[in-house]
Amino acid sequence: VQLVESGGGLVQPGGSLRLSCEASGITFSYYWMTWVRQAPGKGLEWVAHINQDGTETHSMDSVRGRFTISRDNARNSLSLQMNSLRAEDTAVYYCARGVRELRRDWFDSWGQGTLVTVSS
């Protein structure tokens, strides 16, 4: 299983960035997919997730309306469109493969992350 993120970089406040995560070695369409971020020197923060066919998405309060998670199962690809970026969005962004059951869920594969820096 391999997850490879791309698209990070330096962007000015108010700008936009699109992150991608390419999956290989898995049947991508079987799994929930999630974005998790980690600000420098801080802990992990769940950002958003999407179900197997893309019909259900959820995101954290501070990014709702600014970030959009999507997927393309034909291309084994997950995306995070980030608009109206703020300094507090600066973080390493990880994509993770999720398993979601009635009362439990977990992330059993992670990418290496892509750094997003929001600064003027």
Partner 1 sequence: SSELTQDPAVSVALGQTVRITCHGDSLRTYYASWYQQRPGQAPILVIYGKNNRPSGIPDRFSGSTSENTASLTITGVQAEDEADYYCYSRDSSGHRGVFGGGTRVTV
Interface with partner 1 (CB under 8 A): 34, 36, 43-46, 49, 58-60, 94, 99, 103-108, 110-113
Minimum CB distance to partner 1 smaller for 43 or for 74:
43
Question: For partner 1, which is the closer residue by CB, 41 or 120?
Answer: 41
Q: What is the DSSP string of 52-117?
A: TTSS-EEE-TTTBTTEEEEEEGGGTEEEEEE-S--GGG-EEEEEEEEEE-SS-EEEEEE---EEEE
Q: How far is the CB of 12 from partner 1 (least distance, A)?
A: 27
Q: Closer to partner 1 by CB, 88 or 105: give it.
A: 105
